[in-house]
Every structure is written in C-alpha cells, then in structure tokens.
Amino acid sequence: MSQSGANDGLRGRTAVAGVGETTYYKRGQSSDPEFVLVLKAILAACEDAGINPREIDGFCSYSNDRNTPARLANALGLEELRYSNMQWGGGGGGAAAVVQNAASAVHAGSASVVVAYRGLAQGQFGRFGQGGRRPAVRGEFAYTLPYGVMSPAQMYAMRTTRLMHEHNIDRSTMRAVALAAYHHAQNNPRAVMHGRPLDAETYDSSRWITEPFRLYDCCLENDGGAAMVVTSAERAADLSDTPVLVLAAQQSGGHRSGAWVHNPTDYATSSFKLGAQHLYEQAGVTPGDVDVVQSYENFTGAVVMSLIEHGLCTYENANEVLTFENLRADGGSIPLNTSGGNLAECYMHGLGMQIEAVRQVRGDSTNQVPNVNVSLSNAGPMVEVASTAIYGTAEALG
C-alpha cells in the first residue's frame, strides 16, 4: 500500500459502527410511508451498533431527502440535535458523500454520533425511472423533452453510447455486470431478485429500454429505508471487535459537470476521473489494494465507466477484464456488487451499496470475499456530483 499524503485528515479517524435496512419492496408495495421506513432503518442501525438511538446527535442525507432531521429527532426523542446536513443534487451521487459529511462532522467535533440515511416510497411520491409529467416545460427540459429525451435511461444511454464508440467497449462488459449482480442476489435473502436468477440468454433476449440498455441493464425501482451510524474510531472500537474505518470519501465533478443540454466538456464520463485521484491519496491505498467493489448501477454502462475511472481496469483492457468470472465474489479478480446492487438487491438510491461495502469489511456479507481489508463503493455515476467512499480494517492503515 502507498503511504498516506497530506490529504489524509479523514483517514481512519471515524468508523461505521452500525448499519440498518428495512425490508425492501418493489415500488409501491410498502405498507409503511417513507418517514416510517427511515425510522425503522435508523433503529435497526442503532441496534446493530449497540447504541441507544437517543445518543444520535446528527443526521446526513442527500438528493433533497424529504425526511428532515428535526422531524426525525422529534420522533426518536433526541435531547439535542447538533448537526444537520444535506448533499444537494438529483440522483444517487450523494450515497458516499453522505458518509463523507457524517465522518467530517464527527472528526471536526460538530457531533458525536451521526446517522447517514435515505428512504424511498415510490408508491407514495412517484416513480424515479419514469419521465416527469410537467404542466409546463422550461429550462433544460425545453431543449430535450421535444426530442424524446425525458427519462434517466434515455439521458444516460447517449453517454454510454459515446463511451462504447470512443473506446471500443463491447456490450459484453455490461452483460457481465448484470449477470454478476443477479448471481450474487441469489445468495442474499434481502434481495428483491432473490430466487430469480439471470442467464446470458435471458439477458440478450430481454427487451430494449433505450439503446444500448436492455431491461437488465437498468436499476430496480423500490421502496425501503437504509441507515448507517458513523462515530469516532475510538468509540467504534469500544462497540465492536471489527470496527469499519472510513479510510477516505470524496465528492467528484469535472469541468462543466452537470452542464445543461448534454454539454459537459467530457461527455463519456461517470464523473470520477478527478475525484478518484484525491480519494486514493486520502486513503493511502492504490487501486491494486482494493479487495471488493460496490459500484452504483443506475445503468450498467455507468459501472463500466466507473471501474475504469477508479483505476480498476483500463479503456484498453476493459473487454478482457470485465467478465462474469472476474466479477464474482467466489473467485473473481474484481468482486463486484456482492449484495446484488441496485440491479438485483434493491434500488435504495445507492445507500444499500455503501452498507454492503461495510459488510464486506466486517466479514458478514452473504457473498463474502475472503480477507477483505479495503472495500470501495462509488455512488451516482454520470450525475453532476458523484461520490466514492473507501472503508477498511485497522490493518489497511499500515
């Protein structure tokens, strides 16, 4: 492992002490409203950490979450709310940033126990994967909706097509991502697609959503809640024999990232090229030290971009490296999305993938990779501000 640099202020100072999830549902099938789902996930995370929920004194969420910290604090009976934070922006780009913000607050002394959370009840508030229904069109959508670009799949399909054209990336890489996710979901009883395996023939014959994405290239639409308890490394060590340290976390957006009308300087990017450099420097590790990866799949093409931009393969060797055999937890060289991810476990807006990264370090994943010291999880590829976190054991500090 490389030596840590000057940008290592967060490295190993905080830890994830507990994680919690609700039952995951297909969109519209939860009997609980979104706020209740979030509360259930927070209580589960506190139980996992072995702390009283009333010890929480901070909350972090992202993507304009509707469940406000003040309301959560009142429902949980907190005596004091010291920290309240939101990572702004659409999509799931904040699923790692929310851990960054929580860890930064704890390290700075702004709070002592901060919960990172996300809840979705698409049956209550509307589908994420569907084009918006608007009484009037203005801004960016005035340029795209008249030409049929109205849903996330359509928006990101064009960027993936550019990637494939410029770098000769084969569709087989995308198929491998989907097959690995479904393969891992069969061992995960929490996964919505548990008991529904996927093979190459079924993938290849599935209907087009928007080229180059077929049905199984697209994330699920779900209801549920997820939460992570972040505290100091010292406190986490008192709570657990295997505290999961936050080695690094970075937000990432390049020049003109998020520019309107599909007009960023670098179009075929997942937004991690610059942020990954800071991430590894802060963590004091290299891509070669990463034992397991959870890479947010809004769509499989974004995963291919993300793995390349995090240095886990290259444009030149992606077609050879990103195969189903290499992405499996049981013997693969780049174990990927070992819970089933957004494709096959649940689309909990990416926070479930951060939780799986933590489980891999703890050693209690349903698809456990042997001897994990360094676990990476990125969030929200292709959105205007994406993010990545690296978790590890004390041994990873060197």
CB-based contacts of 394-398 (< 8 A; 24+ apart in sequence): 394/12, 394/243, 394/245, 396/1, 396/245, 396/247, 396/283, 396/285, 396/289, 397/11, 397/12, 397/245, 397/247, 397/284, 398/1, 398/3, 398/4, 398/284
Strands 114-120 and 374-379: unpaired
Amino acid symbol at 291: D
Cβ atoms of 157 and 211 within 8 Å: the answer is yes
CA distance readout (Å), 121 to 207, 225, 385: 26, 9, 24
Peptide bond into 212 cis (omega under 30): yes
User: Of 24, 25, 117, 347, which is the active-site residue?
Assistant: 347
Q: How far apart are CA 380 and CA 351, in angstroms?
A: 10
Catalytic one among 83, 156, 182, 296?
Answer: 296
| Dist. CA 103–CA 106, nearest whole Å | 5
Concerning whether 156 is annotated as a catalytic residue, the answer is: no
Give catalytic status of residue 347 as yes or no.
yes
Q: Which of 323, 327, 331 is nearest to 340 (CA)?
A: 327
Q: What whole-number distance in Å separates Cα of residue 271 and Cα of residue 276? A: 9
Distances 264 to 141, 152, 156, 259, 398 between C-alpha atoms, Å: 16, 17, 13, 5, 39
d(CA 187, CA 109): 40
Is the Cβ–Cβ distance between 17 and 243 less than 8 Å? yes
| Residues noted as catalytic | 296, 347
